[in-house]
Amino acid sequence: MIELQGTFDDGWSLSDSMNADTFSRRRVRPLWVLLVMMAALVLLLAPVGCSRRATPKLTATQAPKVVQPTVTLLPKPTSSGIPVVLTVDNVVGLKPVARAEMAYPYQPHWAPDGSEVSIRGEGSVQMYQGDLRQMTANVELDGYTLLDHTPAHSWMAVTTDQQTIEIRDMKTGELARTIQPGGLVYTAAFSPDGRNLAVGLSNNWVAEVYDLETESPPLVFSGFQTAAPVYSIQYSADGKELIWTARGSVQTMDLETGEFSMELAHEDSVQSLASAPNGALLATAAAGTINIEFVPMINLWTPAEGMPLGVLLPGEAVPAALTFSPDASLLAAGSGNTIQVYDTTSQTLLAQFEGGGDAVTGLAFSPDGISLVSTTADGSITLWQVVP
């Protein structure tokens, strides 16, 4: 287990906290650092599109105390068969084959090769082998806020003060890089391959995209329009777009051109969304009106054109989790304590399962399309497969 030791000066608010060392360093910053910060502010207020900000100052941070991860062996699957790729024809045969436990798990992320899966929890993040039979990392976040995690490089992005981001190895605790963005950090997301980190700033609707394998200046993107006080950004499944969300508004932005798609508008706040690996589909979950009734809905869109393709009705609860299969033929949704799997072509419900004893909080298909991992609020992490 890796323990990250961080402290707050007053209360729990990250925006109001700063440790003494950080405060001391900021008081003695030389003039050239202040000039760089002023230049960064100018760039943040630049016109819509993409630009580059001056190279951020990198600072060393004391390494956290590292303890070896706890290894947890799980029971072997009762079937000796070989699991098959999930399709519209066999998905009704999904069965749980392995299970682990974690305090309030959610947000599962697969490594691109499917070898590992990392899962966020309440004050922690864990990583497992793809079959869930062995834990490979266990991080307790004491005083740190986890911004995002990726098994692609075993990396996690953490902060203690919303001003400095530390990129650390989840298995060793080693500091890979320290980043100081051009404003207070509000949200952050790793690209699917783990190479880039997109950072959303709270002082403006701006995203800075860092190449973590180089020290080149970040790309700066702006242009998202919203009156909402909160927003989030995440990468599309193919890594080619950023998806901006603020309450009921969703827009995709091409990372090559900086151009935004048409706004995908919803009557109510979007609770979850997922993009297809081929970039052709986007699914969003929010409540809306159908036949004068306000009901939970899953909306299917073509993200580039912002065209609605159809509406799925999940039942009593707006799904808190959505995920597409690698070929985009299947869409899994976590609605209440059930897992629903839809055929995206016919837009019909193919199968429905109880995800556990409590609400489903996360879903993710493996890159090879053989497995589906689910997380539930009661602490269960479950691996689902079809084993003939």
The mean pLDDT value for 52-72 works out to: 43
Please state the pTM of the whole predicted model: 0.82
Residue 362: is its pLDDT beyond 70?
A: yes
DSSP structure string for 277-345: TTSS-EEEEEEEEETTEEEEEEEEEETTTTEEEEEE---SS--SEEEE-TTSSEEEEEETTEEEEEETT
CA distances in angstroms from 258 to 150, 237, 242, 324, 356, listed in the order given: 24, 17, 9, 25, 41
H or E element in which residue 33 lies: helix 31-44
Provide the CATH number for the domain around residue 100: 2.130.10.10
Mean of per-residue pLDDT scores for the chain: 82
Average pLDDT over residues 59-69: 44
**Residue 141's pLDDT band (boundaries 50, 70, 90)?**
confident
User: What type of residue is 236?
Assistant: S
The per-residue pLDDT for range 313-334, each reduced to its tens digit, is 999 899 999 999 999 999 999 9
Q: Any bridge partners for residue 302, and if so which? A: 307
- Please report which confidence band the pLDDT of residue 23 belongs to, taking 50, 70 and 90 as the band edges: very low
Structural domain including 308 reads 2-385
Q: What mean pLDDT do residues 216-222 have?
A: 91
- The count of structural domains within the chain is 1
